[in-house]
Chains A and B, each alone.
Chain A
């Protein structure tokens, strides 16, 4: 087993076809160590989200190589990418909670992706995590009755509940106050230390940069800065 959870080599990516074809990533090389917390930064359109979605098996790799948890994604089948996604946790800036499901049920979906389980155990795991994130009193609330910060914490719980190998997060702290934001990122760090969970997040939040193991900056589809912290 290698130490790299993600190994990106010579990655190119394009959008569009024919004359409208536009290259979004140019020869990107990046190796992300297991258990680390990596922040992707860069201006809008720099390619950081594209890189995140490629590493998260949400797009097909056009050129180059991405080895994710020792599986090659280039020329991989759709079914392989779906299976790989089950080992990942996603946190979206817009939460994307299911409006018809309670906080607890949204988190349970993170477990049910792995198949039938014992409903009571699923509920207990969801309750435990939501309680950890300060939502123990909001288990039966629908997203429409939660604040933006509370929704984001439910989304975090949904991503973490199945103990993913890698967490991909897009501005996970944007809707959180300083204390909650720091606590969430600290949780990612702790998971990295205790369980080896790797976290890659896109953020513009300067409050959390100090907690990162590594800060990678992209511009115009290229990595222009790569600060590894000891």
Chain B
């Protein structure tokens, strides 16, 4: 390794030799860097999981535009209702080929084992299959049977195995909101951070479950556009059809991005995760700084000697950066491994969509290098204490 690094650096790898001279201290330093990596990965993983769980319901939809209420909240599940009349008004636009309302409501499902789960219900018209994901087309049609539901196999706190065989011909009964429903199929959506599961029902079944809700006030409206129509332009033109500030109209993908942004930057959970990432970075910098500054302090006489010999500042920067990069590059891998184990454990225990992505791993790796380099630059200040004249 020394020979390889000598060739690479064009000088003896002083930083590497200093670090490996004290294996115990090096291991402690690597553990510190790995710990900081785990902190950052955990927070990024949770934040990514929240973004993913926000996006999943949007992926059920296959229309071009989404009409939302003008309420301030950007969350799909939080949105207030809007008049169904907005749908009919939209149909006058030449690019709009169709539309359907969707109704959303939340209920607590107490299963037979005293476990309770918060369920997000989507009430949709069974014949509006064109507005939903292709895989849902056939099961959605079956929802025309009253008091039937497609249940979420990823629902938390409930053993959903008994629903695996649910068919329209052989519904699996369950009770919710004091009403007997029959599961006629399953979907795999997952509750994410806002709930424990998602159930799809017909609009009529929805009104049975939520009698206070009216078909005249859906939660959102989905619009389909003619092939080749510009969704952004159509959305802008549609807004002009309504009285000011009565609707928000967005392409579905844009609405999804908007909600992800909203959840990450304006909701407490997102801010907590962002704060957690910042804490992880600060902890990483502090750990790396402690290691590097202690190393500089330990070698202050050697550095003073090098100064006396005529080595320039760039040489010392090189040594400290070399140490920083070694710590970052080696400490990253155990951090990645532990984080992967954490993700898998959390996904298994909670059913939230948490997983490692290449982009995240690369970003954290680069961030670790930068954080360690910043720590190294801070530790450089201690070099001023290396006064060669004091060696005599």
Please name all residues of chain A whose beta carbon is closer than 8 Å to the beta carbon of B12 when the two chains form the complex.
Answer: 101, 105, 108-109, 112
User: What string of 1s and 0s marks CB contacts (under 8 Å) between A17-55 and chain B?
Assistant: 000000000000000000000000000000001001100
Chain A to chain B contacts (Cβ below 8 Å), 5 pairs: A79-B312, A99-B21, A99-B302, A100-B21, A202-B392
Q: Which of A75-127 contact B (CB under 8 A)?
A: 79, 82-86, 88, 90, 92-94, 96-101, 105, 108-110, 112-113, 116, 119
CB contacts between A and B, total, < 8 Å: 75
**CB of B144 closer than 8 Å to a CB of A:** no
Give Cα A33–Cα B6 distance, bound, in whole angstroms: 39
Give Cα A51–Cα B309 distance, bound, in whole angstroms: 18
**CB of B18 closer than 8 Å to a CB of A:** yes
Please name all residues of chain A whose beta carbon is closer than 8 Å to the beta carbon of B392 when the two chains form the complex.
Answer: 49, 52-53, 58, 92-93, 170, 202
Give Cα A116–Cα B307 distance, bound, in whole angstroms: 17
Please name all residues of chain A whose beta carbon is closer than 8 Å to the beta carbon of B304 when the two chains form the complex.
Answer: 96
Please name all residues of chain B whose beta carbon is closer than 8 Å to the beta carbon of A101 when the two chains form the complex.
Answer: 12, 14, 17
Please name all residues of chain B whose beta carbon is closer than 8 Å to the beta carbon of A49 when the two chains form the complex.
Answer: 392
Q: Tell me the minimal C-beta distance from A159 to chain B in angstroms.
A: 9
Q: Tell me the minimal C-beta distance from A161 to chain B in angstroms.
A: 11
**CB of B310 closer than 8 Å to a CB of A:** yes
Q: Tell me the minimal C-beta distance from A26 to chain B in angstroms.
A: 19
> Are A112 and B11 in touch, CB under 8 angstroms?
yes
Chain B binding surface SS class: helix
> Are B299 and A98 in touch, CB under 8 angstroms?
yes
Please name all residues of chain B whose beta carbon is closer than 8 Å to the beta carbon of A82 when the two chains form the complex.
Answer: 307, 310, 312
Give Cα A79–Cα B310 distance, bound, in whole angstroms: 9
User: What string of 1s and 0s marks CB contacts (under 8 Å) between B6-33 and chain A?
Assistant: 1100111010011011000000000000
**CB of B242 closer than 8 Å to a CB of A:** no
Q: Tell me the minimal C-beta distance from A69 to chain B in angstroms.
A: 13
User: What string of 1s and 0s marks CB contacts (under 8 Å) between B373-392 and chain A?
Assistant: 00000000000000011011
> Are A85 and B302 in touch, CB under 8 angstroms?
no
* B residues with CB within 8 A of A: 3, 6-7, 10-12, 14, 17-18, 20-21, 299, 301-302, 304-312, 388-389, 391-392
**CB of A204 closer than 8 Å to a CB of B:** no
Please name all residues of chain A whose beta carbon is closer than 8 Å to the beta carbon of B388 when the two chains form the complex.
Answer: 58
Indicate which residue in A85, A94, A100, A202 contacts B308 across the interface (CB closer than 8 Å): A85
**Contact-residue size bin, chain A (C-beta under 8 Å from the other chain):** 20 to 34
Closest chain B residue, CB of each to CB of A159: B309
> Are A92 and B305 in touch, CB under 8 angstroms?
yes
Indicate which residue in A100, A105, A110 contacts B309 across the interface (CB closer than 8 Å): A110
Please name all residues of chain A whose beta carbon is closer than 8 Å to the beta carbon of B309 when the two chains form the complex.
Answer: 85-86, 90, 109-110, 113
Indicate which residue in A58, A92, A100 contacts B17 across the interface (CB closer than 8 Å): A100
**CB of A59 closer than 8 Å to a CB of B:** yes
Q: Tell me the minimal C-beta distance from A146 to chain B in angstroms.
A: 15
* A residues with CB within 8 A of B: 49, 52-53, 56, 58-59, 79, 82-86, 88, 90, 92-94, 96-101, 105, 108-110, 112-113, 116, 119, 170, 202
Give the 7 A-B CB pairs with smallest separation, nearest first.
Answer: A86-B310, A100-B21, A85-B310, A96-B305, A58-B389, A116-B10, A100-B17
Please name all residues of chain B whose beta carbon is closer than 8 Å to the beta carbon of A79 when the two chains form the complex.
Answer: 312
Give Cα A56–Cα B310 distance, bound, in whole angstroms: 11
Q: Which of B7, B299, B312, B389 has the most CB of A within 10 A?
A: B389
Indicate which residue in B6, B299, B312 contacts A119 across the interface (CB closer than 8 Å): B6
Take A58-B389, A59-B389 as given contacts and tell me if A98 and B308 are in contact as well, using a CB distance cutoff of 8 Å. Answer: no
Give Cα A79–Cα B283 distance, bound, in whole angstroms: 37
Give Cα A94–Cα B392 distance, bound, in whole angstroms: 8
Q: Tell me the minimal C-beta distance from B310 to chain A in angstroms.
A: 4
Please name all residues of chain B whose beta carbon is closer than 8 Å to the beta carbon of A85 when the two chains form the complex.
Answer: 308-310
Give Cα A82–Cα B306 distance, bound, in whole angstroms: 11
Give Cα A119–Cα B6 distance, bound, in whole angstroms: 8
Please name all residues of chain B whose beta carbon is closer than 8 Å to the beta carbon of A109 when the two chains form the complex.
Answer: 12, 306, 309
Q: Tell me the minimal C-beta distance from B382 to chain A in angstroms.
A: 17
> Are A113 and B310 in touch, CB under 8 angstroms?
yes
